[in-house]
Structure 1
Amino acid sequence: MKDRRSVLHFAGGVLMVIGFLLLCWTGMYMVTEAVYGRLGWEPHGLLAFQINAVLGFILFGVVISIIGPLLRPNEHKLFTELIEVMRRISRGDFQVDLAPMLDQIGRHERERHPFAQLVTTIDDMAANLKEMEELRQEFISNVSHEIGSPLTSIMGFAKALKSGALDPEERERYLDIIETECIRLSKLSDNLMKLAVLDSAKSSVHPGTYRLDKQLISLILACEPQWEAKDIEMNLEPGEVVITADEDLMSQVWLNLLHNAIKFAPHGGRINVTVSREGGYAAVRVADNGPGITGEDQPRIFERFYKADKSRTRSGGGSGLGLSIAHKIVEMHGGTISVASRPGAGAVFTVLLPTAAPGEG
């Protein structure tokens, strides 16, 4: 229906131009005939036709140049306003409102009017740029905060150590705190680098076929000192599952989920890890009996630097990037990661991965 209206609109415009051109030729024919009569000269038929045609085109152009601005008086103003808006966007000002421009175009013409389509496209572009700028500013603010907190601690305790008025026990404690904050900064730097690599166009997945259950058994054993230190009961139900994925990247996903579960499980708590096959997907579930995550926090738990209050505080040592990295890697493999939880009842993180690499049958 839309295409039919466009064709009819185009055909109507062509007919109007042809009709106006014929009117100009008719007018010039009458004028030239009057001139020939006064001069007493009758040119050859072909020459008379050529003179009439040329003069008719000239008349057509002159009339169009005169009445054109009168027929569309707002077009020049609209283009001037649009150019100014684009200049503002180029200077980094994305707080633009193009709706008033569209109001100047008839509602029935907006779908087919090229200017309306241009305004809509620029409006969408400005909205996307504004969203990206807000994310960039939020990211810089979060990074500054995460870096500033440990640096403040390091500076404070370093000054205390320089004073020399500390007993050996206090000195050792301060040095331990400085070491802990340095490790925290190092982890933050590593995680930021991982995200930068994963976000870059150069980032790629190098899939290989391997046993997922064996990978998880190996990683759980590597984390044994951490979960044994909290006397956590670690349960593993490893179904035999073969997947095609980047083993190194996926190990980061499992380590992040395991470290999270260990961190939030209470002393003497339990963690259950299950590996199974569900249709064409490998399913991995990591469940803990920690404080859980509120329904309000769950939709944002995979955002960068986001930490659910109380259960995810800076005292836990995290930067809020681990789950973001896991989400990004799983997404790159064509899978999904989700969380199910309620306060006081722990959390269950579920990862679903296609058993074949992206692009394979």
Structure 2
Amino acid sequence: MKKSKKKLKSNLGLLGWMRIECMVVVIGSILIYELTDFITNYVLYKNYDYKPISGIGMFFPMSILVYAITTAFSRTLYHHISELTNGISKIAKGEFNVKLNESSGGPLKEVYHNFNIMCDELNSIDTLRNDFANEFSHEFRTPIASINGFSNLLLDGNCSQEQVTKYLSIIASESERLVALTQSQLLLSKLDSQNIVINKTSYYLDEQIRQCAIMLVSEWEKKKLEVSFELPKIPFFGNADMMNHLWINLLTNAIKYTPENGEIFIQSRSNDSEIEISISDTGIGMTDEQIEQIFKKYYQVENSISVSGLGLGLPIVKRIIMLNNGQLKVTSTPGEGSTFTVVLPLENA
């Protein structure tokens, strides 16, 4: 008997529970009316001829009215909850591109909004996984093949000590490149599949840029570069880790493509609507045709100076700026240097 009752409860469904709720509201309303009517006539007005049974005449009209109202509200709520339930069911089956119409969410409009955000994040994770797997197999083939080839040469045992040292150096270099490529590709895939910036905090952008320059001090000191700043206080509200990648990549590029004894100048300016941070160098510069290509994945500027890179830094920079509703401006002259200007709306300040 107990099992059958439990089964009945589990099979009752949301609409059944809402109907029971309507009946409870109806009965409760009538009881309250009868109690109020009795107290008013018998206790308050001392109407001892009052017959409580006379209030039963109101039972049917009140029942119909209250039941109609509660049923209408319950059906509306049931419709909204059903939409949400169907969406959750699709998510459970792996369909992450589900979207609920927030404008027709009624009392659950905020829930619909949060549900859509959840779907976007789940969909981005799924996209990240697929994109990373596809691009991993394509772009990582060369360093893996190189490591495999030189490892086999070492295993043959017919190498001189000089060759062993050379091959091990190549393997170590390719391994480092593979790690860097993995990290950069994973970050870019994550950014590409992301639509909103989360984990925002308030901090000073000028201080963050200085800290990034300090992190790279060994690189620009090695080339005897002069790095100068003109950065007033810049309060900012955003994802500090994400913006850190932005400045590191821009500064690394400026250092990489600037020859010895060159200069790097970092400055900012603002107006009523936006902040501009510019990073200028006296490096090799670029042509207009090269500027059009630099934001493509794995593209590297070809020039007389041999510079190693992954070709992912600027695509990462561009995507971060887009996520922050900003712009990136590039001006460059071959042989004279380049200026990368990051424009961010004041709403982030």
1:185-334 aligned within 5 A: 185-201=178-194, 204-310=197-303, 316-334=307-325
Match for 1:258: what amino acid?
L
Q: CA deviation at 1:311?
A: 6.5
Q: C-alpha deviations, 1:165-208, integer Å up to 9, x for none?
A: 44444423321221111111111111121122112257633322
The residue aligned with 2:152 is 159
Q: TM-score by structure 1 length? A: 0.55
Aligned residue among 317, 330, 333 for 1:339: 330
Contact 1:305–1:320 at 8 Å: present in 2 too? Answer: yes
After superposition, the Cα gap between the structure-2 partners of 1:162 and 1:278, relative to the gap in structure 1 and judged at 3 Å, is farther
Contact 1:306–1:320 at 8 Å: present in 2 too? Answer: yes
Aligned residue among 172, 181, 189 for 2:174: 181
- Structure 2 Cα separation of the partners of residues 308 and 143 of structure 1: 22
After superposition, the Cα gap between the structure-2 partners of 1:169 and 1:279, relative to the gap in structure 1 and judged at 3 Å, is farther
- Structure 1 Cα separation of the partners of residues 242 and 234 of structure 2: 18
- Seq. identity, %: 34
Q: TM-score by structure 2 length? A: 0.57
Contact 2:195–2:323 at 8 Å: present in 1 too? Answer: no
After superposition, the Cα gap between the structure-2 partners of 1:323 and 1:191, relative to the gap in structure 1 and judged at 3 Å, is same
Aligned residue among 112, 121, 140 for 1:147: 140
After superposition, the Cα gap between the structure-2 partners of 1:339 and 1:355, relative to the gap in structure 1 and judged at 3 Å, is same
Work out whether 1:352 is the aligned partner of 2:340. Answer: no
Match for 1:175: what amino acid?
L
Q: CA deviation at 1:226?
A: 1.0
Report the RMSD for the aligned CA atoms in angstroms: 2.6
Query: Secondary structure of the residue that 1:297 maps to in structure 2?
Result: helix
After superposition, the Cα gap between the structure-2 partners of 1:311 and 1:353, relative to the gap in structure 1 and judged at 3 Å, is farther
- Structure 2 Cα separation of the partners of residues 142 and 290 of structure 1: 31
Q: C-alpha deviations, 1:14-42, integer Å up to 9, x for none?
A: xxxxxxxxxxxxxxxxxxxxxxxxxxxxx
What are structure 2's unaligned runs of at least 5 residues? 1-131
**Structure with greater Cα Rg:** 1
Contact 2:196–2:323 at 8 Å: present in 1 too? Answer: no
After superposition, the Cα gap between the structure-2 partners of 1:141 and 1:265, relative to the gap in structure 1 and judged at 3 Å, is farther
Q: C-alpha deviations, 1:67-117, integer Å up to 9, x for none?
A: xxxxxxxxxxxxxxxxxxxxxxxxxxxxxxxxxxxxxxxxxxxxxxxxxxx
- Structure 1 Cα separation of the partners of residues 340 and 195 of structure 2: 29
